[in-house]
Structure 1
Amino acid sequence: MSATTTHSATGRRKTAVARVWMTEGTGQITINGRLFEDYLPTIELQNSVLAPFQAAALVNKFDLNVVVKGGGTPAQAIAIRHAVSRALNLHDPETRKLIKPLGYLTRDPRMKERKKSGQPGARARFQFSKR
Structure 2
Amino acid sequence: MPKEFFSAIGRRKTAIARVRIWPGKQELLINGKPISTYFKGETFKKIYQAPFIVTETLGQYTGSIKIAGSGLMSQAHALVHGIARALVKVNSDQYKQILRDKGFITRDSRMKETRKAGQGGRARAKKQSPKR
What's the TM-score once normalised by structure 1's chain length?
0.94
Partners of 2:129 and 2:88 in 1: CA distance:
53
**2:96 aligned partner:** 96
- Matched with 1:14 is 13
| Structure 2 partner of 1:74 | 73
2:123 pairs with 1:129: no
Listed as ranges, the gaps of 5+ residues in structure 2 are none
26-35 or 86-95: bigger deviation: 26-35
Equivalences for 1:58-73 in 2 at 5 Å? 58-73=57-72
CA distance in 2, matches of 1:126, 1:65: 48
Q: Tell me the distance in 2 between the aligned counterparts of 1:80 and 1:34.
A: 14
- Structure 1: gaps (5+ residues): none
Residue aligning to 1:108: 108
Give the total of aligned pairs: 129
Q: How far apart in 2 are the matches of 1:44 and 1:85?
A: 18
Counterpart amino acid of residue 27 in structure 2: Q
TM-score, normalised to structure 2, is: 0.94
Letter in 1 for 2:31: N
Give 1:7 deviation, angstroms. Answer: 0.2
Instruction: Give how far 1:44 is off.
Output: 1.1
Correspondence 1:45 to 2:19: no
Shift of 1:47: 1.5
Distance in 2 separating the partners of 1:33 and 1:95:
28
Kindly provide the CA deviation profile for residues 88-119 of structure 1, in whole angstroms up to 9, marking residues without a partner as x. Answer: 00000110121111100010001011111101
| Aligned counterparts of 2:60 and 2:21: Cα–Cα separation in 1 | 10
- Does the CA-based 8 Å contact 1:5-1:24 persist in structure 2? no
> What secondary structure sits across from 2:126 in the alignment?
coil
